[in-house]
């Protein structure tokens, strides 16, 4: 399904705390304004989608980082990767382009071989089963600089709760959800662009890498139509 616009998401998020809706909406409006400015200015600086999106990610991560710093109790650290195994990880076709470009252009032959092998052997990630993302190699993300927005906006308030969820899916992890608003805002800002549907990461990557001709096409931003794999709208 498509991600709702930011105001709809906020109303859902604060359904039990309507007293926070006004302040949350004010923050969202400022974030969307900054993202819109960046997205529009980057078009004249570099019309290539990958460059524009990376610049948008830079601003989005700054916003997310500020939220996390203000929260002050986020235990997420490099090497902690329960979220890479516990969750259904989604990305858009636009984000898949960056992932493929990273694999094809930034990894050496051996690294690329391991990632492709992992992709072809993968099964869909899920929040109902502990299935690793295909890009989790040696317990680290192989495409970290170009990881999907869903990964950038996921934060925990308790490592132990993530561990418990990894072992028992009935025990929900304690999450810091505010950065999710930035993810939704980015989707809203870029929605006018093509290829905004959401896909489960392992399934889409497996479809791309099962055909030896497709990775080069995606890296060149000439994506093939894989919409039959997309989440229903």
pLDDT digits (tens, 9 = 90+) for 9-36: 888 887 878 888 888 889 899 999 999 9
pLDDT at residue 2 is higher than 70: no
Domains of the chain, residue spans:
6-229
Q: Are 187 and 180 in contact (CB under 8 A)?
A: no
- pLDDT > 90 fraction of the chain, expressed in percent and rounded: 49
Confidence of residue 1 (pLDDT cuts 50, 70, 90): very low
* Per-residue model confidence as pLDDT tens digits over 175-230: 888 888 999 899 888 876 655 789 999 999 999 999 999 999 999 999 999 999 99
What is residue 142's DSSP assignment? T
Cα distance between residue 190 and residue 91, in whole Å: 13
Torsion of the alpha carbons at 178, 182, 185 and 186, rounded to the nearest 10: -160
Structure tokens at 122: 């993968």
Q: 136 by DSSP, 3-state: which?
A: strand
Give the H or E element holding residue 198. Answer: strand 198-200
Cα distance between residue 36 and residue 186, in whole Å: 9
Higher pLDDT, 44 or 37: 37
Cα distance between residue 33 and residue 188, in whole Å: 11
Mean pLDDT of 83-111: 94
Higher pLDDT, 168 or 141: 141
Q: Are 154 and 86 in contact (CB under 8 A)?
A: no
Confidence (pTM): 0.87
Give the H or E element holding residue 92. Answer: strand 90-92
Cα distance between residue 49 and residue 101, in whole Å: 12
């Amino acid at each position: 399904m498509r991600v709702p616009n930011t105001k709809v998401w906020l109303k859902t998020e604060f359904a039990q705390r309507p007293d926070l809706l006004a302040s949350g909406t004010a923050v969202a409006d400022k974030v969307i304004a900054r993202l819109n400015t960046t997205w529009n200015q980057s078009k004249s600086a570099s019309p290539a989608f990958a460059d524009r999106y990376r610049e948008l990610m830079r601003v989005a991560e700054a916003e997310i980082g500020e939220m996390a710093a203000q929260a002050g109790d986020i235990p997420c650290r490099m090497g902690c990767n329960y979220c890479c195994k516990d969750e259904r990880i989604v990305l858009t076709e636009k984000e898949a382009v960056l992932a493929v470009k990273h694999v094809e252009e930034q990894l050496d032959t051996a690294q690329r071989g391991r990632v492709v092998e992992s992709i072809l052997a993968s099964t869909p990630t899920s929040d109902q089963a502990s299935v690793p993302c295909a890009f989790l190699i040696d317990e680290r993300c192989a495409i970290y600089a170009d990881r999907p927005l869903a990964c950038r906006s996921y934060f925990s308030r308790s490592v132990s709760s993530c561990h418990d969820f990894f072992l028992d899916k009935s025990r929900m992890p304690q999450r810091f959800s505010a950065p999710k608003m930035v993810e939704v805002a980015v989707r809203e800002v870029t929605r006018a662009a093509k290829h905004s549907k959401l896909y489960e990461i392992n399934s889409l990557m497996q479809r791309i890498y099962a055909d030896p001709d497709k990775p080069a096409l995606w890296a060149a931003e000439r994506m093939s139509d894989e919409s039959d794999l997309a989440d229903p709208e």
